[in-house]
Structure 1
Amino acid sequence: MTSFRTVSAGGLEIFYREAGRPGAPKVLLLGGSAAASYQFRCLLPALADRFHLLAVDYPGFGNSESPDPAGWDYTFDSLTEIVDEALLAIGFTGPMGLYLQGHGGPIGNRLISLHPDWLQWQIIQNANSYDEGFTPIWEHVRNGFWTTRDTAPVEALLAPQTLKSVHLTGHPDPARISPDSWNLELRHLTRPWAREVQLDLLYDYRTNAARYAAWQRRFRRDQPKTLVLWGQGDYFFTPAGGEAYLRDLPDARLIRLDSGHYALEDRLQEIVAEIKSFYHDVIR
């Protein structure tokens, strides 16, 4: 069964979901949706027979506290600090697997830099670390918003129809994607400051792109055991972004999913099977 708890970190109440047996191999789930750990609602019980799993809601996401951005910096550095403090408070530390999706990629890479001994293996699901991974959707972000911080060109990314497209693009059968996934995200975006939070992080995403070269050097140096699960029709990140990991991690296992950014919505069983197989073949 999945448990739902909160922990104090950085003076904030941080929500997390936990499943599996303490003492089993640990897996930390870091996602990207505004609804946060909700995206792992089905993966947690599906892996609980083999792993001890934990999924954290970042500040301003999901069920965690959302401080006013006028007095709290919503950056990937700040989110990582809160995740780190939460994990230390919970006692979920030491060697583990990291499941990195969307925003979870840059947060996870920062966390690894703080605790390199924590990374036993990684599952990368549509989390970008390469320049060629950006789809054309990013054009106005990279060439406009990041230089001027004028929000006008990127406001459409938070529009209801756009968020629905993010959840449906690349999925071969839209009827298999529950509308709850985007409707819950839209609901979270109606909370005070929620849109400002997402725009602040979209602006700060430029700091992730600036770190890609350093992360790639770490990949080449450390050769972490890596399973890449890549939805080929991702709204944000191209198939080339998934293929690029093999350039620095030639022993990584790449699974090309007939899916989109939120591949767990229609490829859950395939993903579960690949994770268990990879752990059995490579890690155990």
Structure 2
Amino acid sequence: MHHRTATIDGHQVFYREAGSREHPTVLLLHGYPTSSHMFRGLIPALADRYHVLAPDHLGFGRSDAPPADEFDYGFDALTTITEQLLDRLDVRECAILVQDYGAPVGWRLALRRPERITAIISQNGNAYEAGFVPEFWAPIWDYAADPAPENEQAVRGALGIEAIRWQYLHGVPDPSLVSPDTWHHDHALLSRPGNDAVQLRLFRDYPSNVALYPRVHEYFRDSRVPLLAVWGGNDEIFGPDGARAFAEDLPDAEIHLLDAGHFALESHLDTATDLIRDFLARTLLAAA
């Protein structure tokens, strides 16, 4: 696995890369509050047959995190940075694996250039209102509608280490399978000076993703893109109905609910890897 950076629009974007560029590309798009670090086990498990790319979104991981008053943080902007990285690396086609925040980035990539996307894997990457667990999302909707101090305070808790720990451990039958390094790593990077303002800006922009869902569903119906959902069925952020909903627009979608939480790769890496490799072999390698 190589650890690289590229200068995109004046910003340093960190990415992990493995496998031959002669092989089909699989782009891994991480969620909140993590980075490409979440794919540290999956990347080598795919690199024998695929060219694997896993960038850190701007503001996350080891990519630059320009202040919120110097960069217009939003999911459109994160997508543009990712799109420019793919162009820089001459990636003309790729399968995408999306998780959490990676999903709205992935959907925008597909809407902008549908011919680029060869297949989709969703690991708790939501595309339907049915997927939102109301108790978790209510404070975010309130803050997006009105960034008053009391609403901001309600979402600031998500930046703390205990909230990040909960994201990793809820819904996991055996929490000892999840390394504490995960939430300490994420918290340290989120705690960089000024990064709280970055994350708050993205919280406020999240409704833009929901507004995009009708176009995403139309894309699914028109493209019939192969889709695999490998979903932590115990997730209290994006519930299992979010996985089942893919079948509404993609009747051939392959949907697997694992006995796991939001970060299913942390506790069920082997199971998820087997499902992903089988899916990619049938969709990418068979078509090559």
TM-score bin (small chain): over 0.9
Structure 1 residue 33: Cα displacement: 3.3
Structure 1 residue 141: Cα displacement: 1.5
CA distance in 1, matches of 2:67, 2:140: 24
**Which deviations, in whole Å up to 9, do the C-alpha atoms of 1:48-69 show, x marking residues without a partner?**
1111100011111100111111
Matched, 1:102 2:100: yes
Contact 2:57–2:63 (CA<8 Å) still a contact in 1? yes
Q: After the TM superposition, which parts of structure 1 deviate over 6 Å for at least 4 consecutive aligned residues?
A: none
Which position in structure 2 is the counterpart of 1:173?
Answer: 174
Identity of aligned residues (%): 37
Which position in structure 2 is the counterpart of 1:37?
Answer: 36
2:206 counterpart SS class: helix
**Which deviations, in whole Å up to 9, do the C-alpha atoms of 1:12-39 show, x marking residues without a partner?**
0110000111111110000113331000
1:202 counterpart SS class: helix
Q: Number of aligned pairs?
A: 281
Which position in structure 1 is the counterpart of 2:160?
Answer: 159
Which position in structure 1 is the counterpart of 2:121?
Answer: 123
1:121 counterpart SS class: strand
Letter in 2 for 1:127: G
CA distance in 2, matches of 1:54, 1:207: 26
1:1-284 mapped onto 2 (5 Å cutoff)? 2-91=1-90, 93-135=91-133, 136-142=135-141, 144-150=142-148, 151-283=152-284, 284=286
Q: TM-score, normalised by structure 1?
A: 0.96
Letter in 1 for 2:100: G
Structure 1 residue 177: Cα displacement: 0.2
Letter in 2 for 1:7: A
Structure 1 residue 71: Cα displacement: 1.6
Structure 1 residue 159: Cα displacement: 2.1
Pairwise CA RMSD: 1.1
Letter in 2 for 1:30: L
**Which deviations, in whole Å up to 9, do the C-alpha atoms of 1:179-208 show, x marking residues without a partner?**
011000110121021111111111101100
Contact 2:33–2:164 (CA<8 Å) still a contact in 1? no
Letter in 2 for 1:116: P
CA distance in 2, matches of 1:88, 1:195: 30
